[in-house]
Homo-oligomer: A and B are copies of this chain.
Amino acid sequence: MNRSDELVAASVAAGVDVCFANPGTTEMPLVDAIRRSDGMRPVLVLFEGVASGAADGYARISGKPASVLLHLGPGLGNATANLHNARRAQSPVVAWVGDHPDWLVDHDPPLTSDIEAIARGTSRWVQRVQSAETMGTIAREAVQAALGPESGVATLVIPMDFQEAVVPDGAATASDAAPLAPDFVALDSSDVDALAGKLRGASSPLILLGGPGTATDCVAAGASIAESVGGLLLLERFPRYLRRAPGLPAPARLQYLPMMARAQLMKHDLVVAIGVEPPSCFFGYAGERPELTAEGAELLQPCLGGQDPSALLAALVEAIGASGSPSQVAGKSEPFVRSGALAADSACAVLASLLPEDAIVVDEGITSSIPLYPTLEGAAPHHYLACKGGSIGFGTPVSTGAAVAAPGRRVVTWVGDGSAAYTLQSLWTQAREGLDVTTLVLVNDRYAILQLELARGGFPIEEQSLDLTDLGRPTIDWVKLAQGFGVPAEAVTDTDGLHDALGRSFATPGPTLITIPVE
């Protein structure tokens, strides 16, 4: 047994059971230890941004922390964009980054860089293994740091000599310790009562849920409290996870454009943000102020001290005397499917009409996503995952990890063509692992959101500025790209074609990709 075995065993004991890996020479002892481990599933990816996004998706669906195995600073760099998204989604992700042996790193060989600096851009906890003896302990600390009370990314840098070090016979290891859970701070009942009083006393209170506060029990409690105090429940713009089904509350989300978000918030004199930061502009347009709440509104963040959103909301239901079962819930609706031309809204309707029960929908459609959330409201019960962090290249990796976490359930990736081009290597891992992922690429041959932003910013829309937002020269053949990575694919041109193609995909195990033309 070497210290890599100990790290893996300690992490498995703490609750980590999957590793999305793109290893290199400095991770070979860890690769071998993962092979020997019974409890850790290795999943190979072709690019590190797939690993970090998949870990995020796995954590969102399984409720467990996930690990990634990365090669030195550059490997961590490649993982950074989706680690950013995981951080913003408060998904527990442990990043194991191999480094040169301790005795070499001061000699600055070519692959050396400041790994900790890169990690600090995304990680709430960054440590370097300082001695082989601490390997099990620090592996467990990394999992706890990822779980939080506020969960996120924990990066552990592991010099290769410590990975290889042999564990002396009879040495104690952390491999049979208990699973870890978030280390929440206990609620103070007087704080709960005070908050209940504030909610009762406000003329128009708003409960804003986000991060872990969009869990199913939290949304039900929040909706019930809001009904009880005559207020409103709102979700953050891009929730990390949301269970949607007839009979569950169907709260609106905070709007993306500041003007529309302000209109949602303007009448509320009290905003209670739970699991989420105070609402501010997503981007800063000239002439805006940063806060979205009404001027003079009171803003409370009752979980800032490390309290559990779920426990707080349950306690608030009690304190307020709410029913816990909100009366305003989603119904079941038959989406209106037109035969004919495809556009984002008609494609959403076809999807809503066919969505398998318990499917997972990963949303990175950007401008093509506008009709997705409302259209799916009355569809079969499903799970909805959005990109809170805003970093592009999110959808296909997150779907990959979600599918690893949910065998037997269908995962649907709703993704714009520009977005899909960042981390398309996900498709290969979907084929390799036989994952039931249906990737719907919304093709408009442009970064439509940037063309909107150019127009909004008052910039003249001339050919040359459009050129830096244009994906049509040459057009990307997504069918060939998918096939190149081993994923069956087809292009559809109308709603009937999409209906048939989706039906085939949902009936066939393994991944599929379908391209859908949109404006």
A residues in contact (CB < 8 Å) with B: 21, 23-26, 28-29, 31-32, 34-35, 42, 44, 46-47, 49, 72-81, 83-85, 87-88, 100-101, 103-104, 106-111, 113-115, 117-118, 120-122, 160-161, 164, 237-238, 277-278, 280-284, 286, 288-291, 388-393, 418, 421-422, 424-425, 428, 431-432, 449-450, 453-454, 457, 459-460, 462, 464-465, 467-471, 473-481, 483-486
Cβ of B110 and Cβ of A474 under 8 Å apart? no
Chain B nearest CB from A302 CB (Å) reads 18
Q: Which residues of B contact A460 (CB under 8 A)?
A: 32
By beta carbon, the residue of chain B nearest A118 is B121
Give the residue of B24, B284, B388, B450 whose beta carbon is less than 8 angstroms from that of A23. Answer: B450
Q: Which residues of B contact A486 (CB under 8 A)?
A: 474-477
Sample of 18 more A-B contacts, CB < 8 Å, known A28-B454, A46-B422, A74-B391: A32-B459, A46-B418, A74-B80, A84-B111, A104-B281, A104-B284, A104-B290, A107-B290, A109-B281, A109-B283, A110-B237, A114-B121, A117-B118, A161-B286, A421-B428, A428-B474, A432-B474, A476-B484
Cβ of B422 and Cβ of A47 under 8 Å apart? yes
Provided the pairs A114-B120, A432-B474, A474-B428 are in contact, do residues A104 and B280 lie with their beta carbons within 8 angstroms? yes
Total identical chains: 2
The distance in angstroms between the C-alpha atoms of A346 and B418, with both chains bound, is 39
Chain B nearest CB from A97 CB (Å) reads 12
Give the residue of B74, B110, B424 whose beta carbon is less than 8 angstroms from that of A81. Answer: B74
Cβ of A28 and Cβ of B80 under 8 Å apart? no
Cβ of B25 and Cβ of A449 under 8 Å apart? yes
Give the residue of B28, B77, B475 whose beta carbon is less than 8 angstroms from that of A77. Answer: B77
Give the residue of B75, B80, B454, B457 whose beta carbon is less than 8 angstroms from that of A118. Answer: B80
Can you list 13 A-B pairs with a CB-CB distance of less than 8 A?
Answer: A32-B457, A46-B471, A49-B78, A73-B121, A74-B389, A77-B79, A78-B80, A78-B422, A84-B111, A100-B284, A107-B291, A109-B284, A110-B238
Nearest first, the 4 A-B pairs at minimum CB distance are: A77-B80, A474-B486, A104-B284, A74-B391
The distance in angstroms between the C-alpha atoms of A422 and B72, with both chains bound, is 15
Provided the pairs A277-B108, A284-B101 are in contact, do residues A476 and B428 lie with their beta carbons within 8 angstroms? yes
Cβ of B31 and Cβ of A454 under 8 Å apart? yes
Q: Which residues of B contact A113 (CB under 8 A)?
A: 84, 87, 121-122
Chain B nearest CB from A30 CB (Å) reads 10
Q: Which residues of B contact A459 (CB under 8 A)?
A: 28-29, 31-32
Cβ of A77 and Cβ of B280 under 8 Å apart? no
Chain B nearest CB from A141 CB (Å) reads 21
By beta carbon, the residue of chain B nearest A483 is B480
The distance in angstroms between the C-alpha atoms of A109 and B284, with both chains bound, is 9
The distance in angstroms between the C-alpha atoms of A400 and B170, with both chains bound, is 56
Provided the pairs A32-B454, A484-B480 are in contact, do residues A468 and B21 lie with their beta carbons within 8 angstroms? yes
By beta carbon, the residue of chain B nearest A421 is B46
In the complex, which of the residues A393, A457, A469, A480 has the most CB atoms of chain B within 10 Å of its own CB atom? A480
